[in-house]
Chains A and B, each alone.
Chain A
Amino acid sequence: EAQVTQNPRYLITVTGKKLTVTCSQNMNHEYMSWYRQDPGLGLRQIYYSMNVEVTDKGDVPEGYKVSRKEKRNFPLILESPSPNQTSLYFCASRKTSGRIGEQYFGPGTRLTVT
């Protein structure tokens, strides 16, 4: 089954404790992206990657890091989480060939930073 998976699905942590949210896709997509969703603000793009070893900032990259060492994986790293990073996080992937098309989203990770 074609899918994007994220782990963990739920996480409660404390300020300053480094964490990683994993994202993996099995569709051989070149493009992957991370978004956060907050009430009233919609999804905001954190980082994206057009292919392996190629990453770029989205609109809200501060406080986050990413890496793209393999095509299928795109982990999101919070080196020193703060309460304002409490949010619902989505990973997405899509093909880069042809017309810009559908992004496939993972199920989301609910992060609470206390």
Chain B
Amino acid sequence: RKEVEQDPGPFNVPEGATVAFNCTYSNSASQSFFWYRQDCRKEPKLLMSVYSSGNEDGRFTAQLNRASQYISLLIRDSKLSDSATYLCVVNDPDSWGKFQFGAGTQVVVTP
């Protein structure tokens, strides 16, 4: 079983709509979670860190559900520029240096 799993999609979303997707992780002791965005095999870039209480950054909202071991990302009022692959990243609780990445969820926003 993969340590971090994501629905690969694609999620086809009309412009202006809301899309949400999850990422599950296997190690219940994990403490640090992130969403990164990757465009077309370019370098990943941090979208947002995910905090225990949930956090929002403009149109993006991230939530953490420790009981069910998943994090979620919700994008409101989708823009064409939101089309990308969203990577879930979890820090290994036994090492600040180790990270596990999900394979990514592809989002395609259509006009």
Contacts and interface: CB of A to CB of B under 8 A. Distances in A.
Interface of A: 31, 33, 35, 37, 40-45, 48-50, 56, 58-59, 88, 90, 96, 99-103, 105-108
Contacts, number: 57
Given A100-B32, A101-B49, A45 B43 contact: no
Interface residues of B, number: 23
Contacts of B49: 99, 101-102
A108 B101 contact: no
B99 A107 contact: no
A56 B42 contact: no
A88 B102 contact: no
B72 interface: no
B43 A105 contact: yes
Nearest to A48: B97
Interface in B18-40: 32, 34
B87 A107 contact: no
Contacts of B103: 40-42
